[in-house]
């Protein structure tokens, strides 16, 4: 319990980028999150993934992060959106190129639907680029609606190319996010 009366909440985030220096973009986002009330606990490996939907664009780097925060869900989504804007993300086509993307996958066992955010992420069970990194750090985490574990969702997810990148790249970015 914190001095303000709120307890830290366990949240799982998905981070991705397919423009510029993808890994540096994710590292910058992690650093900014850590400066804004979000404490990174664990970070998955980096994965190279093909775009889905809008395929005429560069490949992505994706990862998952387990974080602790005292921010409430809407505060957290607004903080993530502010970081994305500050880093230069602009509106574009759905599933289009992006400098940085930060999505809330799970927030404790919360189920929430609002105009600003849906938790758990409504398409996480369909996306290997989300589930592969998430399974690395939280295979037994449960979807609060379906009660399926991340491992179970991954087993049922559509096939897609998700390639693990080197440990050196991962370690450098993980350290940047913790500093």
- The answer for residues whose C-beta is within 8 angstroms of residue 115's C-beta and 6 or more apart is none
Catalytic residue IDs: 89, 98, 101, 103
Give CA–CA dist 162/131, Å, rounded: 10
> In the chain, what's the furthest Cα-to-Cα distance?
49
- The answer for residues whose C-beta is within 8 angstroms of residue 160's C-beta and 6 or more apart is 49, 50, 52, 127, 128, 129
* Whole-Å CA distances, 160 to 58, 86, 97, 98, 132: 15, 31, 18, 20, 10
CA 138, distance to chain mean position in Å, is: 13
Q: Which residues of 31-52 are buried (b: 16+ CB within 10 A; e: fewer)?
A: bbbbeeebebeebbbbbbbbbe
Lookup: tokens for 162 = 């998700």
């Amino acid at each position: 319990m914190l001095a303000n009366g709120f307890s830290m909440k366990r949240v799982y985030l998905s981070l991705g980028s397919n423009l510029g220096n993808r890994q540096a973009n994710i590292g910058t986002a992690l650093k900014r999150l850590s400066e804004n009330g979000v404490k990174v606990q664990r970070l998955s490996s980096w994965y190279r993934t093909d775009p889905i939907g809008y395929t005429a664009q560069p490949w992505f780097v994706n990862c998952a992060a387990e974080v602790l925060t005292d921010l409430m869900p809407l505060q957290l989504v607004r903080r993530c959106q502010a970081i994305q804007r500050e880093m230069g993300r602009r509106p574009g086509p759905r599933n289009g190129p992006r400098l940085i993307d930060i999505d809330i996958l799970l927030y404790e066992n919360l189920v929430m639907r609002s105009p600003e955010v849906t938790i758990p992420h409504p398409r996480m069970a369909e996306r290997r680029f989300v589930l592969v990194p998430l399974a690395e750090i939280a295979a037994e985490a449960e979807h609060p609606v379906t009660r399926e574990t991340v491992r179970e969702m991954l087993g049922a997810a559509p096939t897609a190319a998700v390639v693990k990148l080197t440990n050196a790249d991962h370690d450098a970015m993980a350290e940047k996010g913790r500093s």
